[in-house]
Amino acid sequence: MQMGRCQVSTVETGPAFLLRLHFPPRADRPTPQMAWPQATIAGHVFQLLDAARPAANNPPMKGTSKTAATSALKQARRAWRLQYLDATTSIALARQALSRADAAQDAYAWAWAQLTCAFHAMRYVGAAQGIGPMEMARDAFEKLGSRHGVIVATIGISRCWWMQGRNRESLDLLLPLRAEGLQLLDEEECGMLLNGIAGCYSMLGDPAQSFAYMYQALRESSPARNRGFDVVLYCNLSHELLMLGDYEESLIYAQEGIERCAKQNNLRLMGVLLLNRMTCLTDLQRAGEALADAQRLLAMPASPDGRGASNPAFEQIAMTVLRAGDLKLGAELIERARESLGADARPDERYELIIAESEMARLSGKPQQAVELLERAMPLPTDGVELRIRCLFFQALSDAHERNGNTARALHCLRTWQALQLQRSHLASKARHQASSLRTELMRLQRQRDDIDARHRSTEKARRELEAANQLLAQKVSQVQALQASLEQLAVRDGLTGLFNRRHLGDVLPGMIALARRDQRPLCLAIIDLDHFKSVNDQYGHLVGDAVLKSFAALLLDGLRKSDIVCRYGGEEFCVLMPRTTAAQGQRKIEALLKSWRTMPLHGNDQPLAPQTFSAGVADSLSSHLPEHADAELLADDLLKRADDCALQAKRRGRNLVVQE
């Protein structure tokens, strides 16, 4: 095709499709270096754009253009709107719009079709292949004087940078556009802008800001239009909760996103949602359940015609397959991951591959090789590696050292893992404050619904708007309730030890006693008080005291059943609930823990601590003298008091003792 002196041809790589423009480079606009297509906009193309530029006065309204909507522009904009809902149809329409725009010398249509193709290339081929075409589209919109188009193209450029690990640069590019973007862009594009900012904050380790922007993006997107962008937000919310370790809530969002995405034609988005669910289940030690998602992902080609060649995540799938026990397939996936990770791979992708390689070595009976693989990768970079990957890394290294017989290094790595988990917990706790902003949003939506009702009650249009506002309000109520449930879970954990706190004990104990009485089974409760703990704080300082408390918490978790509930009761006191256990059985359990605690090596200020002991009292629900119809709260207080009295007896009898009622 010809456009003035500029030679125009089409470029097709898989489903990605763009125009290639060949011309002598201008001195003031050097040809960009790109993998494909090697192109820029110059010469008569820019003359065409200059002719199409609108007047500077009277800027376009939000989400609109002053240019008359030609058939090519309508087709290009339809392709853009379908990018999430039907990726295959979107790119096909964008190809047709490019040809029609070129034939008609329609600069606006060309720019929007080019932008759609650039986003498709970024998602399905890679950031390096998307950024050049994205910059071409931005330059075209600048020549047209379309701030709307410039902002959307800049969102795409920022996303390419984010995919390349340039998180801070990406954020610095987007933040100045926020206020202007919310005025000019339509609802879905506002959501893209806010979601891009959220992604940057997530990778920079600020989940509170990430959640705030994601929920604002969800507020800006209209469910009535059903363009599929809400599924993207469900996907990202699931990922953010996964990074914070809130696996159960993450699974809820992933499942909701998968169900919604099943009604769309977007393999890329479905693949990411399946990865989120698979990773949640794997981290919850449910790799067997996650294997079905791994098989579904492997059935989707990691190519532009499938779920995309960008970040195929073979290393993530390998971790699930290995933990499910399939070493042969795990080895194949590790090899595919090595081949697919290019020079622009993110650091967390590379470290997850290293973890998968070490897991393969460990499961193959080569613990020394597992240690060497992980040790060679240290120290971890300060940026670009998510907290979840850091936790997995030191957990794997601790396990490898333990299996290799190096208990000192294993304990050191375990403490590093504990510190990272504590940091993860603190970040999750900060996100709790977003509940108040969500309540404010809910009030805003309520006022909006009331205003619509008051202004347009008598017309059919008013009824339609009110119905839409009600639907949106119901959706927000559901989202606020889901987030509040997640934040309540964060509020029942002790920040230092990670154990449940006293508030949680008060919540669950009455119900557990009622259940034990109904089933006529015992419920055993133990109160444990560390002996002479104040002297540890006085002699070595509170940091050493905190380390002792965390070590004891780890001992409790390791030595008790998963069905047992361990709480930090206060200070150096702990409480253990043991279902289906009599006081005599509970005493034997606690005495075994006391024996382990006495022999556990502990250090303070590089000096070994004297052997530590504790005093404990044990009672069960069968020994209560209260009538069977007594209130559950009263029964709970009675059981606590009886166990506490036994603990006091243990102290009076010289400590280092477990007393049974």
Length of the chain: 661
Site of tokens 């994601």: 214
In this prediction, residue 128 carries a pLDDT of 86
In this prediction, residue 226 carries a pLDDT of 58
Predicted confidence (pLDDT) at residue 54 exceeds the cutoff of 80: no
Mean pLDDT of 584-608: 93
Environment class of 555 (CB within 10 Å of its CB; exposed 0-12, middle 13-18, buried 19+): middle
* β-bridge pairing 603-604 and 607-608: antiparallel
Percent above pLDDT 70 for the chain: 82
Confidence of residue 340 (pLDDT cuts 50, 70, 90): confident
How many other C-beta atoms are found inside a 10 Å radius of the C-beta of residue 180? Answer: 14
In this prediction, residue 436 carries a pLDDT of 39
Please give the helix or strand (H or E) that residue 279 lies within, else none: helix 267-283
Mean pLDDT of 229-248: 81
* β-bridge pairing 657-660 and 614-620: parallel
In this prediction, residue 485 carries a pLDDT of 67
Mean pLDDT of 243-268: 86
List the single range of 34-38, 245-249, 366-370 with lowest mean pLDDT.
Answer: 34-38
- Residue 605's contacts (CB-CB under 8 Å, 6 or more residues apart) are 540, 541, 544
The pLDDT tens digits for 413-427 are 999 999 988 888 777
Q: Which of 476, 223, 442, 449 is nearest to 457 (CA)?
A: 449
Q: Is the dihedral of CA 183, 186, 187, 190 positive or negative?
A: negative
Cα–Cα distance, 52 to 464 (Å, whole number): 38
Predicted confidence (pLDDT) at residue 594 exceeds the cutoff of 70: yes
Classify 565 as helix, strand or coil: strand
- Residue pair 225/262 in contact (Cβ under 8 Å)? The answer is no
Confidence of residue 469 (pLDDT cuts 50, 70, 90): confident
- Residue 328's contacts (CB-CB under 8 Å, 6 or more residues apart) are none
- pLDDT higher for 629 or 186? 186
Predicted confidence (pLDDT) at residue 16 exceeds the cutoff of 60: no
Give φ, ψ of 574 to 5 degrees.
-130, 155
Mean pLDDT score across all residues of the chain: 82
Q: pTM for the whole thing?
A: 0.56
Predicted confidence (pLDDT) at residue 502 exceeds the cutoff of 70: yes
Percent above pLDDT 90 for the chain: 47
In this prediction, residue 30 carries a pLDDT of 37
In this prediction, residue 306 carries a pLDDT of 79
Q: Which amino acid is at 463?
A: R
The pLDDT tens digits for 151-179 are 999 999 999 998 888 889 999 999 999 99
